[in-house]
Amino acid sequence: MDFTDNKVLIENLILGEEKAYIFLLNTYHRQLNAYALTLVHDSAMAQDIVQNVFLKTWKSRKKLNSQFSIQSFLYKSVYNEFINAYQKNKSMMLLHQKYVESSIEVVENADASMLQKMIGIVNREVGKLPPKCQKIFILSKKEGLTNQEISKFLNISVKTVEAQITKAFKILKERLDDKYETILMLIFGASPKKLA
């Protein structure tokens, strides 16, 4: 069964095929978590949002449409879940409307395989960062640790952490075309332009 085929995957989800659901989780959990983290800047809350999205997707699987991209559906669902959480707790979060809209636009307009390819290129470039820079960048942007947490974990100053993250974005901006800037923002939650 080729679950990489969008239509096959959705049709099997509708039928309640657990292997299709496991494939969905394995394929999209990490990137959705990274995306949710860019919205809420809180690791536990991001995980809750993504978990809710997967649970709701499974519960309402019979309403899925095999003609639509499951990836776009999942990203929109994360965004909607974020909005719900935001409305319940406005004082805890800031809604960066322009940023959120641009992220959603990329997801809606990009072909799923193209989006995966772009994310792959960005991740490859992250892998080429200088070791210390890469470690701090991953702890911050993929693991969701705060600068203070990274500072304590690596026994370095907060200023050093900030400098290394800024350096990472500058290197990535230099290596990647303009079209990858929004992908960079989508995955890691900061605009390279602000750090240039």
Nearest to 98, CA basis, from 2, 194, 195 = 194
* Residue 118 is assigned to a structural domain of this protein: yes
CA 105 vs CA 46, 69, 100, 101: distances in Å: 20, 14, 9, 6
Nearest to 162, CA basis, from 146, 173, 176 = 146
pLDDT confidence band for 183 (50 / 70 / 90) = low
Q: Please, what sign has the CA dihedral across residues 52, 72, 80, 60?
A: negative
Nearest to 27, CA basis, from 4, 49, 43, 47 = 4
Q: Enter the tokens of residue 73.
A: 């559906």
* Residue 151 is assigned to a structural domain of this protein: yes
**Cβ-based neighbours of 51, under 8 Å, separated by 6 or more:** none
Q: Based on the fold, state whether residues 125 and 167 are members of the same structural domain.
A: yes
Total-model pTM: 0.48
Q: Return the pLDDT at 93.
A: 43
Average pLDDT, the chain: 79
* Residue 194 is assigned to a structural domain of this protein: no
Percent of the residues in the chain that have a pLDDT greater than 70, as a whole number:
73
DSSP letter (8 states) at residue 62: G
Residues 153, 50, 45: CA angle, nearest 5 degrees: 50
Task: Reply yes or no on whether the pLDDT at 51 is more than 90.
Answer: yes
Could you tell me if 172 and 184 are in contact, meaning their C-beta atoms sit under 8 angstroms apart? yes
Q: Based on the fold, state whether residues 65 and 30 are members of the same structural domain.
A: yes
Q: Enter the tokens of residue 159.
A: 């200023």
Which is higher by pLDDT, 191 or 179? 179
pLDDT confidence band for 109 (50 / 70 / 90) = low
pLDDT confidence band for 123 (50 / 70 / 90) = confident
pLDDT confidence band for 191 (50 / 70 / 90) = very low
Q: Which domain holds residue 13?
A: 6-84
* Residue 166 is assigned to a structural domain of this protein: yes
CATH number at residue 136: 1.10.10.10
